[in-house]
Structure 1
Amino acid sequence: MKELLRRVWAATGLDETAALPAIGHALQFMRDHAPAEIVTQLINQIPDAHQGIRAAAATSDAGVTAAIAAVKGLFGFGQTNLNVLTGKLANLGLNEKQVAALLGEVFAYAESLVGPEGVAKMRAAMPYLSGFMGKTARARPDV
């Protein structure tokens, strides 16, 4: 987790109090929407990944999930699921550029652990996130 946290800090400028649960939300999202065998393999390879997931679970989304779920039928499930994730991240204080940088780093790190084939399987299951997969944001965005 330390390596992933360092990458996210560098890409987003977030401090640990926001970065750890933000990573946890991304991992939870992957666990809920990507093939279980790939995500289980990924989480098992990230030391202290469950610490991030617990930190995410401990954060409130201030009703964002319920509000978005109420209009799920209007936009399609994939985009709505992405909106729920970005709402949770926004509640942690992330702006749009930071969300993109966070997801880019998480997926780049995932690729280093589960390989391009694993990320391809995730891409197939979550096509609405494909813009974040395989991209990294090395420079800190203007925040």
Structure 2
Amino acid sequence: MEKLTSSVVAETKLDPTVAKAALGLVLGFLRDKDTTGNMQVMIAKMPRAQEAIDTAQYTGDGGVTQVIEGMTSFIGHGRADLNILAGQLEKLGISEAQTDALVRQVVNRAENIIGAEGAEKIKGILPALRQRTDLPTDLRHSA
């Protein structure tokens, strides 16, 4: 988790505490949306990742997320879940460009931990995030 946090901080210029909170939100979102188990494997292989997810979920937003989640349970999640995540990241002061960089770093780290095939499956979760934040089709960091 520290390596991922460091790479996010280097690319986004976010404060390390904010970067870790944002990563906790994004990793938790991806874990909850992943039906393959790849994110759970990735999280298990990153020391302190589960702690970051737990902390991000615990800090919450005064119950607003739970109310929205309750309302969306009638119509399905998907886009509403994504809007909740985007709102949480925005509340942390993270711009769309920083979100783009953060997600790119998560995908890069996924490739290192669970391999290219596993990372591709994780990227399959991201089309809706791409639409919400105008992320490029190729989320890999170009060197």
Fold similarity call, TM over 0.5 = yes
Q: Distance in 1 between matches of 2:5 and 2:106?
A: 9
For these two proteins, the number of residue pairs brought into alignment is 138
1:42 Cα shift?
0.4
Task: For residue 77 of structure 1, give the secondary structure of its aligned residue in structure 2.
Answer: coil
Q: Distance in 2 between matches of 1:26 and 1:105?
A: 11
Q: CA RMSD in A?
A: 2.8
Moved over 3 A (4+): 66-73, 123-127, 129-134, 136-139
Note if contact 1:68-1:83 (Cα within 8 Å) is conserved in structure 2: no
1:60 Cα shift?
2.8
Distance 1:125 1:17, change over 3 A: closer
Query: Any unmatched runs of 5+ in structure 2?
Result: none
Note if contact 1:64-1:84 (Cα within 8 Å) is conserved in structure 2: no
Percent of paired sites with the same residue:
36
1:71 Cα shift?
7.1
Higher helix residue share: 1
Q: Distance in 2 between matches of 1:103 and 1:53?
A: 15
Query: Any unmatched runs of 5+ in structure 1?
Result: none
- Which fold has the larger relative contact order, with Cα–Cα distance below 8 Å and residues 6 or more apart in sequence? 1
Q: Distance in 1 between matches of 2:120 and 2:142?
A: 22
Deviates more, 1:91-100 or 1:25-34: 91-100
Amino acid aligned to 1:135: L
Q: Distance in 1 between matches of 2:71 and 2:136?
A: 24
